[in-house]
Amino acid sequence: MNSLMTYGISGRRDELRIMTDLMINMLEPTRTTHLLYRTNLSYSQLKKYLSSLLNMGLIEERIEPYRAFGVTERGRIFLDIVGAEFGQNSGFATASRYPKVVTQDRKSWLAEVTV
């Protein structure tokens, strides 16, 4: 599954969009190499984002039957909220579950959602 998010005018993704792209690709347990190719990140960037998502409890690392990363229930809720904010209708967002999301400052909003 390729990235479902669209890019802004500049063509660059912000941190929230990159994390969302990663998590969309991890709805099914996915190996690190596959994440690299699907999200178009370097290995050092991927390590940084995986570490952040693990610390926030949005993803988990699975060892059996192979090393892979998957989205937790908390991560699925996060995707629902972010999908509603982005206005995506890609199957992971259920806007009816969550009312309008405050979109003032994405970093502070991200911090509030993941507390």
What average pLDDT does this structure show over 82-93? 58
Structural domains in the chain, sorted by start = 15-113 (1.10.10.10)
Q: What is the pLDDT of residue 80?
A: 87
Q: What is the pLDDT of residue 72?
A: 93
Q: Which residue has tokens 């999908």?
A: 83
pLDDT tens-digit series, residues 24-60: 999 999 999 999 999 999 999 999 999 999 999 999 9
pLDDT band at 11 (very low <50, low <70, confident <90, very high): confident
Whole-number Å distance between alpha carbons of 21 and 39: 7
Per the structure block, which two tokens stand in for 50?
């995986």
